[in-house]
Structure 1
C-alpha cells in the first residue's frame, strides 16, 4: 500500500492520478473529507480506502506491515492563517507523529515543506540544511514548515529514507477549491472569463517595474514526477527544493494565460494591499542543483508549456487531473 495524505487537496490528488497512471491502485487516501468541493479531486481515481486524518496515526499502527511508502502532503497551507495553535497542531505536531511512526515501523517518508521558509530570501534560495536556523519566514505558515525541517534534522532517530520537499509556486489542475490560495494563473483565467481583464499588483520598489515581480512557478505535473522519482530512489535523504529553477514575472504568467485562452492581454495594475506590502516577495527562484546531483534529469515544463496545458486541457473544459 502507498499512503497519500492531503489526498483530497491540490498536489495530493494530482499525485494519486500519477500513481494510477503508473499502475498503482492499492492507495490509502488520507485527509479531512468533509469538504465536498475538495472531494471532487479524487472522484474517478482508483484507491483502496479513505482514512480520516484524525484516525491515521492509529491506522498506521494496525496496518504498518502492508505499507510500502508514505507521502505526507497534508497541511494547513493558508499563508494568511495567523492562528498559531492550528498551524502548530496540523503542520508541526501532526507531522512529528507521522515521522515517529515511520521511524518505529521502518517506513520511508516524503513530506511537504515549503519555499515560504525562505522569507524575503535574505539567505538566498539554496536548499542548504546548514542555513535553516538563519531563515526568516514571513508568516506563521512558513514558520511552521521551517520549524519542522529544523526538528527533523536534529532527530537522532530518522526514517531509513526521508525527504522534505520545499515546494515553490505550484500551479495546475485540481486547485479549484483553494479560493484565494489558488495560483495566479487560476485567478487570471477566472478574471478573464468574467471581465476579459486581469489586475496585477503594482511594484512598490524602484528596482522592479509593475508586474515584473518574479516567482519560481512550477507545474504540478513536474512536482508529481519528482515525488514519483523519490518513491523509487530511496536514498540521499534530506531537504530539497522543488521549483522550476527559473524565476518568471507575473506579467509573463498573465500574458501566457491570455494567449492560451486565445485573447489579447488586457492587464492593469493596482496597489499592493498595505497589510502585506512590507512582506511581499519580489523574487523567488529555487536552486535545483541538489536534486540534479542525485540523478533527477527530467526536464520541467516551461511557464508557457505548463500554462498552455493547464488552461486548454483543464480550465477551459473544467476538468480535473
Structure 2
C-alpha cells in the first residue's frame, strides 16, 4: 500500500492519478474529507481506503506492515495566515509524528517542503543543506516548513530513505478549490474568461518594472513525475528543490495565458495589497542540479507548454486530472 496525505488536495490528487496510471491502486488517501475536494479531486480514482487525518496514526499502527511508501503532502498552505498555532499543529508537529512513525516502521518517506523557506532569496535558491539554517522565511507558512526541514536534519533516527521537496510555484489541474491561494495562471484564466482583461500586481521594487517580477513556475505534472521517480529510486536521501529551474516574468505568464485562450492581450496593473507587500518575493529560481545529479533527467514542461496544456486540456473543458 502507498499512503498519500493531503490526497484530496491539489498535488496529492494529481499524484494519485499518476500512481493509478501505472496500476498502483492500493492507495490509502489521508486528508480532511469534510470539504468538496474529495468529491471532485478524487472522483474516479482507484483508492483502497479513505482515512481521516485525525485517525491516521491509529490506522498506521495497525497496518504499517503493509505500507510500502508514504508521500506526506498534507499541509496548511495559506501564506497569509498569521496564526502560528495552526501551522505548528498541521505543518510542524503532524509532520514530526509522520517522520517518527517512518523511522519506527522503516517506511520510506517523501514530504512537501516549500520555496517559501528561502524568504527574499538573499542567499539564493540553492538546496545545499549546509546553508539551510541561515535561511529567513518571510511568513508563518514558510517558517513552519523551514522549522521542519531544520528539525529533520538534526535527527539521528531517519527512515532508510527520505526526501524533502521544496516546491516552487506549482500550477495545474485540481487546484480549483484553493481560492486565493490557487496559482496566478488559474486566476488569470478566470479573469480573462470573465472580463477579457487581466490584473497584475504593480512592482514596488526599484529593480523590477511592472510585470517583470519573476517566479519559478512549475507544472504539477512535472512535480508528480519527480515524486514517482523518488519512490522507485529510494536512495540519496536529502532535501531537494522542485521547480522548473527557470524564472519567468508575470508578463510571460500573462501573454501565454491570453495566447492559449485565443484572446487579445489586455493587462491592467494594480497595487500589491499592503497585507503581502512587505513579504512579496520578486524573484525565485530553483537550482535543480542536485536532483539532476541523482538521475532525474526528464525534461520539464516549459511555461508555454504547461500553460497551453493546462488551459486547453483542463481549464477550458473544466476537467480534473
TM-score range, shorter chain: over 0.9
* Pairs within 5 Å for 1:1-321: 1-321=1-321
Displacement of 1:38 after TM fit?
A: 4.7
| Residues in 1 aligned to 2:158 and 2:258: alpha-carbon distance in whole angstroms | 47
Runs of 4+ in structure 1 over 4 Å off: none
| Residues in 2 aligned to 1:250 and 1:259: alpha-carbon distance in whole angstroms | 14
| Residues in 2 aligned to 1:138 and 1:226: alpha-carbon distance in whole angstroms | 27
CA contact (8 A) 1:216 1:286 kept: yes
Secondary structure in 2 aligned to 1:50? strand
Secondary structure in 2 aligned to 1:177? helix
| Residues in 1 aligned to 2:151 and 2:184: alpha-carbon distance in whole angstroms | 32
- Give the superposed CA RMSD: 0.7
Normalised by the length of structure 1, the TM-score is: 0.99
Displacement of 1:133 after TM fit?
A: 1.3
Secondary structure in 1 aligned to 2:131? helix
Cα distance, 1:166–1:100 mapped onto 2, change above 3 Å: same
CA contact (8 A) 1:126 1:286 kept: yes
- Segments of 5+ residues of structure 1 without an aligned counterpart are none
| Residues in 1 aligned to 2:38 and 2:55: alpha-carbon distance in whole angstroms | 19
Displacement of 1:39 after TM fit?
A: 3.2
CA contact (8 A) 1:4 1:12 kept: yes
Secondary structure in 2 aligned to 1:290? helix
Displacement of 1:274 after TM fit?
A: 2.1
Secondary structure in 1 aligned to 2:130? helix
Displacement of 1:206 after TM fit?
A: 2.1
Deviations 1:254-285 (A, max 9, x none): 11111001111111101111232221111000
| Residues in 2 aligned to 1:278 and 1:53: alpha-carbon distance in whole angstroms | 34
Cα distance, 1:37–1:24 mapped onto 2, change above 3 Å: closer
CA contact (8 A) 2:80 2:276 kept: no
| Residues in 2 aligned to 1:38 and 1:146: alpha-carbon distance in whole angstroms | 28
CA contact (8 A) 1:200 1:267 kept: yes
Aligned residues: 321
